[in-house]
């Protein structure tokens, strides 16, 4: 390159150096005397050119560095190694200090002779302050983590090995730092969790979903277990690379034990409530059945007296039959209540139902209470379950009687009404008493299941709740109006039947003999029911074999030709369902009817067979046979 070219290049370099303001760039001679000064040096160090040229560069060093001869050693290192670079405190003209990055390089002429040094300095005070702040923050965080004793807070590498350990981890896991760092965190898990691969899946979930959180048993160093809440979060670099995991574990053993004790106490409380409710229900059912049995027994006694005198006893026999039907209905409806079975909705004549029940109701409640009926000449039929309606009326009348221990009047009435202008016309059936009435608190709870104001064993506490449930299932509603000292009115509001149909009510007659005589095997472990069933079947014109057990029935089927088997379901040693399976194995085409008092049949063959609900009438028995064999 020509001399002119060198001169041009040197001029350009000088212009470039003078334009740089973020770096102090200047020249030193071989002894360290400042020979040039750029604007960046003036801005950074505070000296003007004329103030610093000719002075030794050690002016910029602290007293500590000069006492250690650091400036001279820096120049010597630059000569020997070709460069000196370091960071440290430097001093401005005003005496303030800044953290600097300094680079010193030797300058050689064209002949390779050393003629001085080039020195560049950069102010790194802000970066150092940020680093110090970060370091202090990290230290404070480290001290915080180390000081936490209620949580185990530690780090895992990407493979799950422990890389840090705090005092909380040592306290309730039992390992010291030098015992656990470098070990895999899976050693804290139970053997069953290890077999299930829980540690591996926990890290995988944390890695893919951003967090893993769970509770479970963990194992201490001494082998004891504790209930832990665990959170695992992934640690990633700025570019998303997985660097490891943070793991926080909390010992919740005391809380879990307290919760388990609370659960046990709550279960014991619920069990005691259940037993109390069962006891109350049992006593109440006995009370309600006693009312029905009283009507049956008194009617039978009166019928016997009439028969002994040669007088007509049909009225009392009819009353006994009606009362027995009420008892059957009570049992079936309680089972329906327990299993939430649907009601059999039909068009019901309320006026006829109440009229037919009046004699039975009067005998049930006694002579010191008068029952009055108040019905319009024409009352539309309503949509309801006839048996359930009669049971509801019985419940309401008995409740009214119990509210009038000194006697009084019960008025059963019904009327049409429109709840709002232009709305659907409904029918309201009311049972009103002149008794004690109820206060607001009692009225508010009166329809709650198992709530009763009667003595122990004198009511189930289900009466009003069953009436309300029945009304709502029929599409209506139930309400109470009561004033203390003035009596109570119970209102059942029902919808008018779309197609009114009158249920024919007549005397029970003996079944007509079937024109199709069958050979029937009757099976029941109750001798009275078996005798009555066989007698009814024989009156129908059938040939009947009797068996009091499943084994006896199979023996008869093995030697006699039978068209139909009617079997009870609940029998000892072999149920009706078991008998049906074994009978079909012998006779695949045998027709079978299962009779049961249960509200629902269990799964299996018996559930798919024709069924008679106990107790059943003669007509229902004949209809079931005709439907299957007619």
Q: What does the pLDDT read at residue 422?
A: 62
Between residues 258 and 537, the one the model is more confident about: 537
Q: What does the pLDDT read at residue 5?
A: 41
Residue range 383-392: average pLDDT?
84
Residue range 7-24: average pLDDT?
56
Residue range 333-360: average pLDDT?
73
pLDDT digits (tens, 9 = 90+) for 555-588: 999 999 999 999 988 888 888 888 999 999 999 9
C-alpha–C-alpha distance, residues 175 and 183, integer Å: 11
C-alpha–C-alpha distance, residues 555 and 499, integer Å: 51
C-alpha–C-alpha distance, residues 361 and 107, integer Å: 128
Beta sheet of 611-613, edge-to-edge order: 543-547, 519-523, 564-568, 591-596, 611-613
C-alpha–C-alpha distance, residues 79 and 82, integer Å: 6
Q: What does the pLDDT read at residue 110?
A: 86
Residue range 293-317: average pLDDT?
83
Name the packing angle between helices 350-365 and 386-402 (round to 10°): 40
pLDDT digits (tens, 9 = 90+) for 486-505: 888 989 999 998 765 343 33
Residue range 291-310: average pLDDT?
81
Q: What does the pLDDT read at residue 281?
A: 56
Q: How confident is the model at residue 28 (pLDDT cuts 50, 70, 90)?
A: very high
Between residues 146 and 28, the one the model is more confident about: 28
Q: How confident is the model at residue 454 (pLDDT cuts 50, 70, 90)?
A: low
Q: Is the pLDDT of residue 13 over 60?
A: no
C-alpha–C-alpha distance, residues 572 and 57, integer Å: 114
C-alpha–C-alpha distance, residues 16 and 24, integer Å: 13
Q: What does the pLDDT read at residue 7?
A: 46
**629, β-bridge pairs:** none
With pLDDT > 90 as the criterion, what percentage of the chain qualifies? 30
Q: Is 197 left (phi over 0), alpha (psi -120 to 50) or beta?
A: left
pLDDT digits (tens, 9 = 90+) for 57-94: 999 999 999 999 999 999 999 999 999 999 999 999 99
Residue range 610-623: average pLDDT?
82
Q: What residues have CB less than 8 Å from 219, skipping those under 6 apart?
A: 187, 188, 189, 190, 225
Between residues 139 and 36, the one the model is more confident about: 36
Q: How confident is the model at residue 552 (pLDDT cuts 50, 70, 90)?
A: very high
Of 539, 560, 284, 154, nearest in space to 547 by CA: 560
Q: Which domains does the chain have, with CATH numbers?
A: 3-123 (3.30.450.20), 131-251 (3.30.450.20), 343-495 (3.30.565.10), 519-629 (3.40.50.2300)
Strongest mean pLDDT among 249-258, 342-351, 488-497: 488-497
Predicted TM-score of the model (pTM): 0.37
Residue range 164-192: average pLDDT?
87
Q: What does the pLDDT read at residue 459?
A: 47
C-alpha–C-alpha distance, residues 280 and 454, integer Å: 10
Contacts 24+ apart (CB under 8 A), 152-157: 152/247, 152/248, 152/249, 152/250, 153/246, 153/247, 153/248, 154/246, 154/247, 155/235, 155/244, 155/245, 155/246, 155/247, 156/185, 156/203, 156/232, 156/244, 156/245, 156/246, 156/247, 157/244
Q: How confident is the model at residue 457 (pLDDT cuts 50, 70, 90)?
A: very low
Q: Is the pLDDT of residue 390 over 70?
A: yes
Mean pLDDT across the chain, nearest whole number? 81
């Amino acid at each position: 390159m020509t001399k002119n070219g060198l001169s041009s290049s040197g001029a350009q370099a000088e212009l470039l150096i003078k334009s740089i303001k973020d770096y102090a760039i200047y020249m030193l001679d071989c002894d360290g005397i400042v020979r040039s000064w750029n604007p960046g040096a003036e801005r950074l160090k505070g000296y003007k050119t004329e103030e610093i040229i000719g002075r030794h560069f050690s002016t910029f060093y602290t007293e500590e560095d000069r006492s250690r001869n650091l400036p001279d050693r820096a120049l010597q290192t630059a000569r020997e190694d070709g460069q000196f670079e370091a960071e440290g405190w430097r001093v401005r003209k005003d005496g303030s200090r800044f953290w600097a990055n300094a680079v010193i390089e030797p300058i050689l002429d064209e002949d390779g002779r050393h003629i001085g040094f080039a020195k560049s300095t950069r102010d790194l005070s802000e970066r150092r302050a940020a680093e110090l702040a970060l370091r202090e923050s990290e230290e404070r965080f480290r001290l915080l983590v180390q000081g936490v004793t209620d949580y185990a807070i530690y780090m895992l590498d990407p493979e799950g090995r422990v890389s840090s350990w705090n005092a909380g981890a040592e306290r309730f896991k039992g390992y010291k730092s030098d015992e656990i760092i470098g070990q895999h965190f899976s050693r804290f898990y139970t053997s069953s969790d290890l077999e299930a691969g829980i540690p591996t899946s926990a890290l995988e979930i944390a890695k893919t979903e951003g967090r893993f959180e769970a509770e479970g048993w963990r194992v201490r160093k001494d082998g004891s277990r504790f209930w832990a809440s665990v959170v695992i979060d992934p640690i990633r670099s700025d570019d998303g690379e997985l660097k490891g995991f943070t793991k926080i574990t909390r010992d919740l053993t005391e809380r879990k034990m307290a919760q388990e004790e609370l659960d046990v106490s709550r279960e014991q409380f619920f069990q005691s409530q259940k037993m109390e409710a069962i006891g109350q229900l049992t006593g109440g059912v006995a009370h309600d059945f006693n009312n029905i049995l009283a009507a049956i027994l008194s009617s039978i006694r009166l019928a016997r007296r009439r028969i002994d005198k040669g007088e007509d006893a049909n009225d009392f026999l009819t009353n006994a039959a009606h009362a027995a039907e009420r008892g059957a209905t009570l049992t079936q409806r309680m089972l329906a209540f327990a299993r939430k079975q649907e009601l059999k909705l039909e068009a019901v004549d309320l006026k006829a139902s109440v009229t037919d029940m009046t004699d039975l109701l009067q005998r049930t409640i006694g002579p010191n209470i008068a029952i009055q009926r108040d019905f319009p000449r024409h009352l539309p039929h309503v949509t309801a379950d006839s048996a359930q309606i009669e049971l509801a009326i019985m419940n309401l009348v008995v409740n009214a009687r119990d509210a009038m221990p000194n006697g009084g009047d019960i008025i059963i009435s019904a009327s049409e009404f429109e709840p709002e202008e232009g709305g659907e016309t409904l029918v309201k059936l009311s049972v009103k008493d002149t008794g004690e009435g109820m206060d607001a608190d009692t009225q508010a709870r009166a329809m709650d299941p198992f709530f009763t104001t009667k003595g122990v064993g004198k009511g189930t506490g289900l009466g009003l709740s069953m009436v309300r449930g029945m009304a709502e299932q029929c599409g209506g509603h139930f309400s109470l109006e009561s004033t203390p000292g003035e009596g109570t009115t119970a209102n059942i509001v029902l919808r008018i039947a779309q197609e009114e149909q009158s249920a024919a009510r007549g005397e029970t007659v003996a079944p007509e003999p079937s024109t199709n005589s069958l050979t029937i095997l009757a099976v029941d472990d109750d001798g009275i029911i078996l005798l009555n069933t066989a007698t009814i079947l024989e009156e129908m014109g059938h040939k009947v074999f009797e068996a009091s057990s499943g084994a006896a029935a199979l023996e008869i089927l093995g030697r006699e030709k039978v068209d139909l088997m009617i079997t009870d379901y609940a029998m000892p040693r072999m149920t009706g369902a078991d008998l049906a399976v074994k009978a079909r194995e012998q006779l695949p085409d045998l027709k079978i009817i299962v009779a049961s008092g249960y509200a629902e049949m269990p799964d299996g063959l018996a559930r798919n067979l024709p069924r008679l609900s106990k107790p059943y009438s003669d007509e229902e028995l004949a209809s079931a046979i005709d439907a299957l064999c007619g």
